Amino acid sequence: MICLTLMESSIELNLMVVERNRHLIDMAELRLDMLINPLEVDPCTVKLEFQLPLIITYRKKIDGGKYEGTESYRGDILYSYAKCGFDFIDLEIGSVFPEVEETALRKGTRIIRSYHNFKEVPDNLDTIIREISSKSGEIPKAAVYCSSSKEVFKFFKVFEKTKDIKDKIVLGMGEFGFPSRILYKQLGSIISYCSSSGNSGAPGQLTPGDMKNLYRVDEINNSTSVYGIIGNPVMHSHSPQLHNKAYKRAAINAVYLPFLVDDIGYFLNLAAFLNVKGFSVTVPYKVDILNFLGEQSPEIEKIKSCNTVCRKGRVWKGYNTDLDGFLMPLLSKIKTAGLKNGGLKIGSIKKGAVIGAGGAARAVITALQSLNIEITIFNRSESRGAKLAAETGVSFFPLNRIDLLSDFDIIVQTTTVGMVPEVDSTPLPEYKFRKNQIAYDIIYTPLETRFLKNAKSAGSVTIGGMAMLKTQGIRQFEIFTDRQFPSEEQKGSS
């Protein structure tokens, strides 16, 4: 069930949030600790006004809430609500309110007994969950913070250890724990929480719209194929929108989600546990992932960079769709700009500068070389830049030699500089672009980076990373599913 956590300061404001999201949710959690006055409205009237299943929660600050008063007062407020027979009441494992519990049970209210840990995944988490579930009628809830790939793998193994417990709520907080919010049904949880935009109830919560429409969490079942994207950072990625919308149009029972990763080995252990079918690869792992592949496509052998991984039998096979993803928007832009300005055509682009020396830069260099363009790498790290230049047979200069850039017909920005949230940054802050120079930035968040804005103001031809993302993503979809990418007009349901 999708549960909307209500974080507003009054019952009236919370009711407005529910009305905006009623079609997206199954239930709501009323956070009494966020209310200015928990008894501003009679609790029994609250139950009638909301007209959907409600969890009543009065969270202490130590458990991630706002309340800092006495336990006596908190117990009195909870008792006032318990008397009205709400569907659920959430009590922490350290809370002792016999009168509240007795009243709740008498009224048919299910008690959610919750454990919160905002620092780590404890080694005995499965024991904690099992101890809570041993008390008749109580639903164990564990919300713990995952701070690394190692921790999130340990966290997900808890689901296997507690799979015999039918009614439970287990959630990983933070960006590493994000997948547990999407895959909660596959993992055996009965509820996943979300928040209204800009008012999160816990680290990692999504909006109801993303839960219901983008990830379609309530449609996920044991037959749902899992795909994703790994990187660091990765939560900004637009790839889930492209892939999940395509799955829906093509009526494919699949979901695609971001995995924040700081250790590829632990992620692959998690991928095996979740039976992940395939995943995209973004910075900084496009080269490192090569060490974990059992098979490589021909373009990988040439580029030595991988952005797509798909399970083939017992091994992971790597592909690179960045080549076509980069080239097609460039060729299209040149054709369009050439119609307006006869001086711009493929043959007129003789020299190309590539900013950066990572996995994306390798693919860009190979793509530009296929157009017989002479390439020079410009990179902040001289050793890394010189190494890539030697491996790809191109020239290299340190990034401080921006005085040379005016001689190049195309400048391609392949680093993460300028990506959200550092939107005012650019790897070339002092460079003055020239008219008719092509500026290509593979970043797509924001759609127009500072690098592109500076080039545009100088009259350069600009290309953003969204077109590349869509082009390479379409090819990834076809590799993952062995099906043609569905058109925007194609409709389906799964």
Peptide bond just before 43 cis, omega within 30 deg: no
The alpha carbon dihedral of 61, 66, 71, 74 has a sign of: negative
CA–CA separation, 431 vs 440, rounded Å?
Answer: 15
Residue pair 93/125 in contact (Cβ under 8 Å)? The answer is no
Closest CA to 140 of 109, 183, 171, 178: 171
Q: Which residue has the tokens 């043959």?
A: 347
Question: CA 275, 279, 282 angle in degrees (round to 5)?
Answer: 145
Instruction: Name 20's Cβ contacts closer than 8 Å, sequence gap at least 6.
Output: 196
∠71-73-74 over CA atoms, to 5°?
A: 60
Helix and strand counts by DSSP (H, E) for the chain: 17, 20
Exposure of 72 by Cβ count < 10 A (0-12 exposed, 13-18 middle, 19+ buried)? exposed
Q: Catalytic amino acids?
A: 286
**CB proximity list for 254: less than 8 A, separation 6 or greater:** 224, 225, 226, 227, 247, 277, 481, 494
Helices marked H in 235-378: 239-249, 264-274, 298-303, 322-340, 359-369
Would you say 229 and 258 are in contact if contact means Cβ atoms under 8 Å apart?
A: yes
What's the Rg (C-alpha) of the chain?
Answer: 26
In whole angstroms, what is the distance from residue 369 CA to residue 4 CA? 52
How far is the C-alpha of 445 from the C-alpha of 256, rounded, in Å? 19
Q: Name residue, tokens 């299209």.
A: 332
Phi first, then psi: give them for residue 67, nearest 5 degrees. Answer: -75, 135
Q: What strand order describes the sheet that includes 315-319?
A: 254-260, 225-231, 276-281, 308-312, 315-319, 295-296
Which amino acid is present at 193? Y
User: What b-and-e string marks burial along 452-471, b requiring 16 or more CB atoms within 10 Å of the CB?
Assistant: bbbbeebebbbbbbbbbbbb
CA nearest 417: which of 403, 405, 402, 428? 428
- Cα separation, 23 vs 209, in Å, equals 10
